[in-house]
Structure 1
C-alpha cells in the first residue's frame, strides 16, 4: 500500500531503497557536514525481487582495474569493522568474511596472460592474489579436474562470503533511527526546471508532487526507466542470472573457492555439504523488469555438465533451491555510472554495477554521500565512473566480469 511522505520537499530524494540506496542514506547520516532531509522511495519494501536479494553475497579483489580493487578493499574493512563504523552500537553484530577465495581458471594462453597482467595491478594495490600452475591447483584442491587448465589465480585474503543481508538491514535500521524517511511508493514522473538543468520535483504513484534538492537514481536494473522520467538515457538493462543451491552426495573434504570455470559457470562453498552455482544462457538478452522465470534447460544442458566435468564429485548432486535474478548491466563498459548528469546537475547516478553491486555498496554509498554533501569525492576518487565518460566515449574496460 502506497505511503505518503511526511513533507512536501526534501534535500535528497533517493529513488530505490535496496543496497545502494540504503548505503547512500546511511552514509549521509554519518557525514558530519550533512544535515538535510532525506527521503528513500522504494516500490517494494519486501525487496523480494531486487538484485540485493538474489546475490551470491561474496566479495573479491581480483579485478583488472585498481579502482575496483580499492573499492572492494574498503568493503572488506567496513564489514570486518562494522560495529566501529556504526558508532560502536552494541546491537550491531560483529561480522567477518569467510575467505575461501575466488579461483579463476584459465584454459588458454591468452586467458592465462590476462591473469598474469591482472596480478601485477592487484599486488600494487595490496591484494594477496597468487598464481597457481595446474599441478599446484591439484595439490591444494585435489577435487578439481585440471586437465585442460593452463593457469589459475586465487586470493584467500578478504575474498569470499560475507553477510550482505545483515549490513543491508543495519544500514536501513540505523539510518531510520537517525531521521531518514523510507516510504513504500513509486516515482512515476519527474519535472525539470524551465532551463532543463535541474529536477524540480517528482510525482509519486499516489499523486503527491515532492520538491527535491538532489535526486539519486538507485533503482538497479530499472535505472534506465527511472532516468527516462528525467529525459535522460543511461545504458543499463536487466540481464537474467540463474542460481542453484545443491547438496552433494559426496561433499568435498575442504572449502570450495568461488570457482570461475573458463565457461563462465561459477560455483562456491555454501556450508553443510551444500554449494551454490550460477550461470546464464549463451544468448544473454535484456529481459523484462519483472521476468524472473527459471529456464531449467540451462541447468540440465549447460551448468550441471560443466560442474560435473570440473569437479567429478559433483556428478551426484541434488538441487535444493533455485532462482533467477537480474544484473543491472551497464552495456557500455560493465562498470558503475556514478555522480551527476552532465546537463541535469542534480540528477545523481548510482547505477550499472553489472553484478558487483553488493561488494561495491560501502564505497559507492560513501562516495555518493560525499558528492551530495561536498560536490566532490573525498575518501576515494570515484570520478573515473562519471557519466561524462559515456558522452566522450571513454570506457573503463573491466576484464574480470563474471
Structure 2
C-alpha cells in the first residue's frame, strides 16, 4: 500500500499528478515540494500556453486529445464549492504550413492524427488562400488546420487551478528547495530540503521540469533532460488577420493572436543550443535574424511590427528524442519520472497526471498506456522521435 508520495515540482505536471492521486484515493499522503510558489520562473507561466493534436506520434496525439477534454471541463473538474476556475480557452486552431519539401511528412502526420480521432483538415494551397487571404501562399503546397480541439489558454490559470484543487483535496504544498535525496539500494527513503525539512516517502516523483536533471542526479540517475531557453515576443501590428489560428511556418517560426497583439517565437536553427542560459535575457537576435523576416514573408501585413514585450522561459528539453519520459526507472523501484516534455508539458499535463497516478496506485497504466514513454527506451537506445517540435 502506497501511503506517502513526495512530488518534487508543483508546476502543471506535479500539480496534475497531485490532483489525480488525491481524486482517486484520499488516503494517499501527497506532499508537493515547490521552491517558487509564485511560479515566476515556471515554464507553465512563461510559455505560449497552447494545445494541439498535430503531432507525429500516436501517444502525443492521444495525450492531447485527453488534454483538450480536460481543459474544456476545467470549471467542473477543478471547482471548489461555487468557485469555478476559468482558463480562457480559445479553440482558434493550429495551422501547419508546408512547402514541397515537407508535404509528404505533413500528409503522413495528418493521416495518423485523423485516424486517432483528431479533427484536422488537410488544405491544399488554393484552400489555404481562400480561408486565410492574408497569407502568402506562393511557396506553399499545403497546410493542416485544427478544426476543433486546438488553440490557446491561460497557462498560469491552469497551474493555479490544479494547485488549489489539489490542496482542497488534501495535498500538502511545501515552499522549499530539495537539497538531497537519501537512497538505500533500489529505493529512495527520504527527501531533504535546504530549509532543514525531511520527508519520508514510499514514492518519489521527479516533476521538477527544467531542473529535473538535478533531482535525478541526487537519486543517482542520468536524466537526458536539460533547460533550454526559448524567447517569446509580443508584437503589435496594424495587420487585420481574420480568423487567425496559431500558425507554424515551414521555417519553424510561429505566431498567434493575443488580444489586439500577436505572440511569436521560434526554435533555434540547427547548431548550438546551450543549456541553462539566464532567463533574465531575451534572444533578440533570433527575432531580428529569423522571426521578423519569416513573418514579413508569410504575412505581408506584418511588414510593420513593433515589439511590445518579450520574455524567456525554459523548455525541459529531452535531448534523446524530444518526447516525455514517464515512469519508474529500473534501478530505483520507487522513483517515478515525469520529465522532458520539450514544450508540450502544459497540454500533456492532464494525461500525465492521470497516468502517473494510475501507475502509483495500481502499478500499471489503466486508461491510456504510456509505457512507450518509459525510461527503458532511453537505456536501450530506442528513440520515439517527435517530428513536430516547435
Tell me the TM-score normalised to structure 1 length. Answer: 0.93
Q: 1:95: Cα distance to partner?
A: 5.6
Q: 1:323: Cα distance to partner?
A: 0.6
Match of 1:265 among 229, 232, 253: 253
Match of 1:192 among 166, 169, 183: 183
Q: Does structure 1 residue 116 correspond to structure 2 residue 103?
A: no
Q: Does structure 1 residue 30 correspond to structure 2 residue 19?
A: no
Match of 1:15 among 8, 11, 14: 8
Q: Does structure 1 residue 312 correspond to structure 2 residue 305?
A: no
Match of 2:345 among 341, 357, 360: 357
SS at match of 2:239: coil
Question: 5 Å matches for 1:146-161?
Answer: 146-161=137-152
Q: 1:55: Cα distance to partner?
A: 1.1
Distance 1:173 1:87, change over 3 A: closer
Contact 2:78-2:85 within 8 A present in 1 as well: no
Match of 2:276 among 272, 276, 288: 288
Q: 1:301: Cα distance to partner?
A: 2.0
Q: 1:290: Cα distance to partner?
A: 4.4
Tell me, in whole angstroms, the C-alpha distance in 1 between the residues paired with 2:208 and 2:198: 19
Q: 1:116: Cα distance to partner?
A: 0.7
Contact 2:4-2:201 within 8 A present in 1 as well: yes
Contact 1:240-1:280 within 8 A present in 2 as well: no
Tell me, in whole angstroms, the C-alpha distance in 2 between the residues paired with 1:49 and 1:86: 24
Q: Does structure 1 residue 387 correspond to structure 2 residue 379?
A: no
Contact 2:54-2:61 within 8 A present in 1 as well: yes
Tell me, in whole angstroms, the C-alpha distance in 2 between the residues paired with 1:296 and 1:208: 41
Q: 1:88: Cα distance to partner?
A: 8.0
Distance 1:297 1:96, change over 3 A: closer
Contact 1:221-1:289 within 8 A present in 2 as well: no
SS at match of 1:346: strand
Report Cα offsets for 1:265-316 as digits up to 9, x if no partner.
10012122x1110114323423226444112222122211111111011111
Moved more, 39-48 or 275-284: 275-284
CA RMSD, Structure 1 to Structure 2 (Å): 1.7
Contact 2:6-2:199 within 8 A present in 1 as well: no
Tell me, in whole angstroms, the C-alpha distance in 1 between the residues paired with 2:286 and 2:267: 7
Which residue does 1:344 correspond to in 2?
A: 332
Match of 2:200 among 194, 211, 216: 211
Contact 2:325-2:337 within 8 A present in 1 as well: yes
Tell me, in whole angstroms, the C-alpha distance in 2 between the residues paired with 1:189 and 1:88: 35
Tell me, in whole angstroms, the C-alpha distance in 1 between the residues paired with 2:252 and 2:160: 31
SS at match of 1:251: coil
Which residue does 2:287 correspond to in 1?
A: 299
Report Cα offsets for 1:312-343 as digits up to 9, x if no partner.
11111221110111110111111110011111
Q: Does structure 1 residue 227 correspond to structure 2 residue 216?
A: yes
Distance 1:150 1:101, change over 3 A: same
Name stretches of at least 5 consecutive residues in structure 2 with no aligned partner.
none
Moved more, 211-220 or 86-95: 86-95
Name stretches of at least 5 consecutive residues in structure 1 with no aligned partner.
1-8
Distance 1:88 1:124, change over 3 A: farther
Match of 1:60 among 33, 39, 52: 52
Match of 2:155 among 158, 164, 172: 164
SS at match of 1:176: helix
Match of 2:364 among 353, 376, 383: 376
Contact 2:182-2:188 within 8 A present in 1 as well: yes
Q: Does structure 1 residue 275 correspond to structure 2 residue 262?
A: yes
Q: 1:67: Cα distance to partner?
A: 1.4
Tell me, in whole angstroms, the C-alpha distance in 2 between the residues paired with 1:302 and 1:119: 27
